[in-house]
Each structure stands twice: as structure tokens, then as C-alpha cells.
Chains A and B, each alone.
Chain A
Amino acid sequence: MDDLILRTVARVLVPLVQLCGLAIIAYGHVSPGGGFAGGTVLAAGFVLYALAFGQEALDRRLPERTARTAESLGAAWFAVLGLVGLAAGRNYLANVLPPGSPGRLLSGGIIALVTAGVGLKVAATMVTLFRRLMGGEGGERP
């Protein structure tokens, strides 16, 4: 895959796509979107990068180890945030932060933090999925 048009477009598009994904994750609690949708867009940026510059380039930018760690971190972050609610003497995933004013970025209490964890997990999972599919038999087994 050595296409000049693809590489030029990808160079411009990948940062925009990933920025869009991060924005969807960050604004998940005040506007449509959230962890899953934003994480998927973020991962699509990585996949586009891999398609344009080759899987080796993606391995340099985002090693498989890092992706796997990010995946576990996202899930652990979700679980720990839930336990914070239990520690406060309420339900699992209960809100322990001030709710803030509706519609602002700093609102929704714990939801924004949960969404960030979900986004990280989904993005890393999508990239790993693509890598496993394209990696072939030579890929490292988990």
C-alpha cells in the first residue's frame, strides 16, 4: 500500500478524525455521543493511519502492548469509579461529585469520568481487533 493520495489525505484527516473522537468522548454527557461512539471514531483514526502508512508505522506509534494496557486501564478505571460509589456508602457507580450546571462541560458528576474510561477501552479494543484481523498467523497470541 504505497499510494500518494491515500497517504496525503490520511496525513490531514487522521488528526481531525481523532480530535473529533476525543470531542465526542469529552462531551459525551452533554451532547449526543459518548464513550462507545467516540472511542470508535478515535480507533478509526488509528486504523486509517495503519491503512495509509502500514501496520509497522502503527506499531511504532501505538505498540500492541500500549493498546492492551490502555484496554485494561479503561476497564479498571470503570470498575474503580464504581467502587468509589460503594466506598461512599451508596450504590455501585453512585455519583459522588457535585452535579454542576446542566449543559456545561463540567457537569454530570461522575459520568464524564466513566465516559472517558469507556472511550479508552473501546478505542483500544477496536485497534486490537483490527490488528488481530490483519496480523495474520505471525501475530503474537494473547
Chain B
Amino acid sequence: MTPVFSALLALLIACAVVVACLKNIFQAVIVFAAYSLIMAVLWQLLGAPDVAITEAAVGAGVTSLLFFGTIAKTGGRPQ
């Protein structure tokens, strides 16, 4: 494992934990997009560019937009 790969893995786990801990849904969605972006880079480093493109497009792109749309619709107040 190269240092870059290890650093990204650590960042990925940190992002995942932060998403679960955040009370503010809006912030959670942004961190989740960052998680997806890191995951996309990791897929590329693991030699799966096809999955990387899909992860970047779906995870960081469309899913975040749909989440933002849902927040805009519901007001996004934490329980």
C-alpha cells in the first residue's frame, strides 16, 4: 500500500464516521459526497476505472442532488 492509498483510506473511514455522527443533514450530505469522491479515487487506484466513473457520477453527483432536493422539500430539520 502506498502512502497516498493509506491516507485516502483513513480519510474515507473518517468521512464515513463523520456522516454517521453529524446532526445537521445538510452537512452530512456534503461529507457523504466527499466520501463518494474519495471512494471513486480509491476505485481508480484499485484498477477499476469503470466503477470509479460510476461512483463519481452516481455517488457524488446524482445522489447528492437528490438528497439536496429532498432536504429542500422537507426542510431538513434533524429529529
Q: Which residues of A contact B73 (CB under 8 A)?
A: 133-134, 136
Nearest to A133 among chain B residues (CB) is B69
Could you tell me if B69 and A134 are in contact, using CB atoms closer than 8 angstroms?
A: yes
Interface check B58, CB cutoff 8 A: yes
SS class of chain A's interface: helix, strand, loop or mixed?
A: helix
Nearest to B50 among chain A residues (CB) is A32
Cα-based distance from A33 to B51 in the complex (angstroms): 8
Complex partner residue of B61 from A40, A133, A136, CB under 8 angstroms: A40
Nearest to A129 among chain B residues (CB) is B66
Nearest to B72 among chain A residues (CB) is A134
The number of chain B residues touching the other chain, given as a range, is 10 to 19
Complex partner residue of B62 from A24, A34, A51, A126, CB under 8 angstroms: A126
Q: How far is the CB of B52 from chain A (nearest CB, A)?
A: 7
Interface check A114, CB cutoff 8 A: no
Nearest to A134 among chain B residues (CB) is B69
Number of interface residues of A (CB under 8 A): 19
Binary interface encoding of chain A residues 112-142 relative to chain B, with 1 for a CB under 8 A from any of its CBs, else 0:
0000000000000010011001101000000
Q: Which residues of B contact A33 (CB under 8 A)?
A: 50, 53
Q: Which residues of B contact A36 (CB under 8 A)?
A: 54
Of the A-B pairs whose beta carbons lie under 8 Å apart in the complex, a sample of 18, sorted by A's number, is: A32-B49, A32-B50, A33-B50, A33-B53, A34-B50, A37-B53, A37-B58, A40-B54, A40-B57, A41-B57, A43-B62, A44-B61, A44-B65, A47-B62, A129-B66, A130-B62, A133-B66, A134-B73
